[in-house]
Structures are given as structure tokens and as C-alpha cells.
Amino acid sequence: MSGPTIRRGGVGSTSSGTFVLDAEFVLRWVVEAAARIDEQRDFLTQLDAAIGDADHGVNMQRGFTAAVATVQSSSDRSPGSLLEEVGKTLIYRVGGAAGPLYGTGFRQIGVTISEAVTPDGEVLLSALRAGLGGIQALGAAAAGDKTMVDAWEPAVAAFQRTLEAGGETEEAARNAAEAANAGVEATLPLQARKGRASYLGSRSIGHQDPGATSTAIIFGALERALRRRP
């Protein structure tokens, strides 16, 4: 337990020092993500149809449905190894480019948490940053290339800024989700520089990136998973 902190949240909120990164949290995050992807499936597919294969929504739904089943059926109670399992499931079940990218992202998140002694908000931040690193290593994408990095990178930055300013993990996740959404909006006027959309030329301009959009959904789910704590 950490020492006394200024509590900016309401009753029941905790500082990043006492945030519990456990198997229950992993389940809440993945269930939230799957539920929100279910809702947004057609929207994601519609975004993808403009510059991709029109399968992003369906692929993500299949992958996250499988990820929920993986977490629910696992007897493993270690949050790190559960998230590594989620990553493996996403690689095989999402398919396309999103499968390997999200799969690597979640595996890196899991590995980082597995290595931590006491998983707290700081560890979650490191894990999210490692996830971004895995995605960037695989896709060679930087911010502004019109990919999921355009949502993931500002989300990690906002998470970090909040913790550095003494904010709680919940607040950090809320700011991260907001930053991810703003990142998605910012992809609209861009021309894709990575992925299939990049060589289809300027057709991508004026379209919101489906990968950045699903990343924002995942960060939205993270915020909700942290908010809805028993």
C-alpha cells in the first residue's frame, strides 16, 4: 500500500499505488472490448470497406469473442500470462493485418506485466508502451502514418502524463481513452503511409482509419474496466 495520497476521484477510487492489476481486471477489459466491438462491428467494417477488405469489424469480433473464451476458460490466475494468451488468440483468430498487430501488442502487454513484481498503474503504463513497441516493430509505423499507432501512441502519452502529474490509474485510463479518440479524429485528413491503404494512393484521404478506431475502442474498454471496480 502506498502512503497518503490526495484523492481526486470519488469514494472507492484508489491511487495508482493501490490499483490491482489482477485476473479479474483482465477479464473485465477483454469482456468490455468484446462488447464494444460487437456494437461497433458494422461501423468498423464500413470504415474498412473504403480503403481495405471490409473485414475488420468481423475479424475483430471473432478475435475478441475468442479472447473472452480464452480468459474465461483459463485456470491461470496470473494477469500477465492471461494477456499473453489473449495475444496468441488474437493472432490466430483475428487474421489479416490486425491479428498479428493486436496479437503482438497484447502479448507484449502480458510479458511486461508477467515480469513485474507488483503490478500497479506504473506497470500498466509500461505494458501499454511495450504493446505499442511490439506493434511498431511489426508494422514499422510511426504517428501520422494513419494506422492504429495514431490512437495508441497518444493514449500511452496521456496515460504517462496523468501518472506523472500524480493522477490515479483510473484518471490515466480516462485520459488515454480520450487521447485515443482524438487520435482517431486526426487520421481523417491523412493519407495512409502504411498498410494496404498506403499503396492504394490518395483514396485513403478523408476516411477515418479502421485500425486507429478499433484501438480507441480497446482503450475505451480499458477505461471502463478500471471504472467498474467492485
Partner 1 sequence: MTALFAAGDRRGTIQSVDRAARILRVLGSSPRLGVTEISDRLGIAKATVHGLLRTLEQQELVEQDADNGKYRLGAAMLQLGNSFLDNHELRARSLMWAGSLATRVGEAVRVGVMNGETVLIVHHVFRPDNSVQILEVGASIPWHACALGKAVVAFDPPSRRNALLGANLSPLTGRTQTDPSVLRTELEDVATLGVAVEDQEAVVGEAEIASPVFDHRGDPAGAIGVVGPVERLLPDGPSPELIAAVREAGRGLSRDMGAGRFAARD
Q: Which of 34, 51, 60, 111 binds partner 1 (CB under 8 A)?
A: 51
Binding-site member from 5, 77, 164, 201 for partner 1 (CB under 8 A):
201
Q: Which of 101, 123, 151, 177 binds partner 1 (CB under 8 A)?
A: 101
Alpha carbon distance 114, 71 (integer Å) = 16
Residue (of 175, 148, 180) closest to 163 by Cα position: 175
Nearest distance, CB of residue 50 and partner 1, angstroms: 9
In a 10 Å sphere around its CB, with 0-12 CB exposed, 13-18 middle and 19+ buried, how is residue 136 labelled? buried
Judged by beta carbon, residue 57 or residue 154, the one nearer partner 1 is 57
Residue 20 lies near partner 1 (rule: CB under 8 A) = no
Q: Which stretch binds partner 1 (CB under 8 A): 1-9, 93-101, 150-158, 216-224?
A: 93-101
Is residue 153 a contact point for partner 1 (CB under 8 A)?
no
- For position 75 contacting partner 1 by CB under 8 A, the verdict is no
Closest to partner 1 by CB, 146 vs 174, is 146
Q: Which is nearer to partner 1, 35 or 49 (CB)?
A: 49
User: Which of 77, 137, 164, 165 is the binder for partner 1 (CB under 8 A)?
Assistant: 137
Applying CB under 8 A, which of residues 87, 99, 154, 220 lies at the interface with partner 1? 99
Indicate the residue among 102 and 219 with the shorter CB distance to partner 1.
102
Smallest separation (angstroms) from partner 1 to the CB of 44: 13
Residues found near partner 1 in the complex (CB under 8 A): 49, 51-55, 95-101, 136-140, 191, 194-196, 198-203, 205-206
